Structure 1
Amino acid sequence: MDEELLTIGAFAARARLSAKALRLYDRLGLLAPAHVDGVSGYRYYRADQVEHARLVALLRQLDMPLARIAEVTGAEGAEAADRLAAYWADVEARVAGQRTLAEYLRGRLSGRSSEMYEKFAIETIDVPAQVVITESRHTLADELPTWIGASLGRLEAGARECGGVTGAPFVVYHSEVSMESDGPAESCVPVADEAAARAWAGRQGRARGTAVRVEPAVRLVYTRITKAQVAHPQILAAFEAVEQWTARKGLSIAGPCREIYFADWDAAGPGDPVCDVAFPVRRSAVSTE
């Protein structure tokens, strides 16, 4: 045996890892032995693989997914550091969202829900029937913001062939979108020309779930929120405030909830109103209070 190669036991001791961990890293493609005996199956490692083994172990302590570990260890120098920084930025964003969600849930569990809802002003509005071009997708919560921006951008571009945009774009949630439930969600852009819209939708095919339909006249109960409040889980309080108000008035929700985007998202600041969170209700019963 080449004296530069170490048995798995000797290498594990030098890397301060267990042989079990080294076998796992090999199986996952994160750290392959330098040599595997064809008869015994014993693994042997080079001494210069110790630093790589320790790096993999440290990245695992950050709960880094295996694919991301492969990206970091496959890069060198500044590029590897940048990939680690990008991963950690994602972690901090996720933890910040979880911290906000925990505070929101504490409010609910402690009976302070009414205090959270009081800051939302609830109103009603009648919206006439309108032709909309739409794009639907099953998506989880972490992918939702990116998809909303991209899909509305595609639809607004398509609206130029359909007589132009005639109203605020909106997103309809036909079922819950969370980290466990994937909707579907439907992005909608009102347009002027139904015939042109149907021709446009026919040219798009079904690859993106594109369609055209007439949205019936509807009365909405809604509250207006800022750009900062659109983020999950802050937006949950807005939806629940509208639901609570609707229930107190003895009204019936008549369809899926929606978000109506009436402002330039990119130009808006965190405190600027950008979105109405709304539920359709039965027109005959709605109070104008």
Structure 2
Amino acid sequence: MTDSDGVGEGWDGDGDGDGDGEWLTIGAFASRSRLSAKALRLYDRLGLLSPARVDPVSGYRFYRPAQIEQARLVALLRQLDMPLATVKETVALDGPRAADAVEAYWSRAEERFAAQRTLVHYLRGRLSGRSSEMYEKFEVRTVEVPEQTVICESRHVLAPELTAFIGESLGRLEKAAQECGGVVAPPFVAYHSEVTQESDGPAESCLPVADAAAARAWAGVQGPAVTARTEPARRLAYARITKAQVQYPQIIAAYEAVEHWIEQQGLTIDGPCREVYFAEWDTIGPDDEACDIAYPVR
């Protein structure tokens, strides 16, 4: 006999027959809560929905009828594909706060679905051989960038952490620039390897400053992730994109458009790709130009 069919309803839980309330076996509780016995055992292990009593001898699990509502709530939240950890946090809240948590979760899910819908459109074009059509919306140009001193902060980050790293590191570098003669050109982020869900770069935030000696002195007293160097004069091939296009996967199409153009022109990529942020991010709209997707070339 398993704990899914163990002692029936009405057992008082301690074997003394005092009848202190109704108890439900895991099988009966699963039926009434619309959850499987397997799911109930998992939720018990996770501390999400524990039985009211576990018999110390047989190991049978017993639930109270009052737990049915919580179990049904768990089942409904799981139908939203809500992760178990988030479900656990949500069911621990009171009604209004739980409702707010569900709304916040679904808003994040809709944002993710919108990005995935865009990714599907991009993949359909790529897999159907229409990549060149997608590239046509990006105008690729070149610019000569003079030699410049940059102060930099690098970190190994995965895609979900990237936006926060860029904002925080550039903020720190802008403060440091006051000790290094001031900012002389827009900041940029160089990618020494891919940053994705599985690949962690590193990414390097860079800010051009005026005083090379001061920059080296400042970097010398920072941690190993902070450096100062002189970037040689170089030619960049770039495509200018809007704030909305910075979002994934539109930004990937921009990178590929620049790569495609470089190949067509018979040029060679001569360094890590970079994103040059020339606009005040917090003050521009989604359709305003915000960033250059660039590759050093020769």
Give me the TM-score of the superposition, normalised by structure 1.
0.93
1:184 aligns with 2:202: yes
Aligned residue number for residue 16 of structure 2: none
In structure 2, the partner of 1:76 is 94
Instruction: For residue 225 of structure 1, give the secondary structure of its aligned residue in structure 2.
Output: strand
Query: Residue deviations 1:166-195, cap 9 Å, x none?
Result: 110000011111122221111111112223
Could you list the per-position Cα deviations for residues 177-220 of structure 1 after superposition, in whole angstroms to 9, with x for gaps in the alignment? 112222111111111222322332234324xx222222222110
Q: What is the match of residue 15 of structure 2?
A: none
1:29-59 CA-to-partner distances (Å, cap 9, x unmatched) read 1111111111111111111111111111211
Mapping of 1:3-152 within 5 angstroms?
Answer: 3-152=21-170
Corresponding residue number in structure 2 for 1:258: 274
- Encode CA deviations 1:232-252: one digit per residue, 9 max, x unaligned: 100111111111111111111
Return the letter of the residue paired with 1:24.
L
Structure 1 window deviating more from structure 2 (34-43 vs 271-280): it is: 34-43
1:101 Cα deviation after fit: 0.9
Shift of 1:230: 0.8
Give the secondary-structure state (helix, strand or coil) at the position aligned to 2:282.
coil
Q: Quote how far apart the aligned CAs of 1:226 are.
A: 0.8
Is structure 2 residue 209 aligned with structure 1 residue 200?
no
**Does the CA contact (< 8 Å) of 2:34 and 2:75 recur in 1?**
no
Partner of 2:76, secondary structure, is: helix
Distance 1:194 1:48 in 2: 70
2:52 touches 2:63 (CA, 8 Å); kept in 1?
A: yes
Tell which structure's C-alpha radius of gyration is larger: 2
Q: Which moved more, 1:15-24 or 1:1-10?
A: 1-10
Q: CA separation of 1:84/1:204 partners in 2, compared to 1, >3 Å: closer, same or farther?
A: farther
Question: Does residue 1:162 correspond to 2:177, yes or no?
Answer: no
Q: Which 5+ residue runs of structure 1 have no aligned equivalent?
A: 283-289
Separation in structure 2 between the aligned mates of residue 237 and residue 120 of structure 1, nearest angstrom: 9
Higher mean C-alpha deviation, range 22-31 or range 126-135: 126-135
User: Quick check: 1:280 aligned with 2:287?
Assistant: no
Letter aligned with residue 281 of structure 1: V
1:240 aligns with 2:268: no
Partners of 2:28 and 2:138 lie apart in 1 by: 64
Q: Which runs of 5+ in 2 are unaligned?
A: 1-11, 13-19
Identical-pair percentage: 68
How many residues end up aligned between the 2 structures? 280
Name the structure 2 match of 1:218: 234
Residue 274 of structure 1: SS of its match in structure 2? Answer: strand
1:254: how far off? 0.6
Cα root mean square deviation, aligned: 1.4
Q: CA-to-partner distance for each residue in 1:99-123, whole Å, 9 max, x for gaps?
A: 1011111111222211211121111
Q: Is the 8 A contact 2:140 2:261 kept in 1?
A: yes
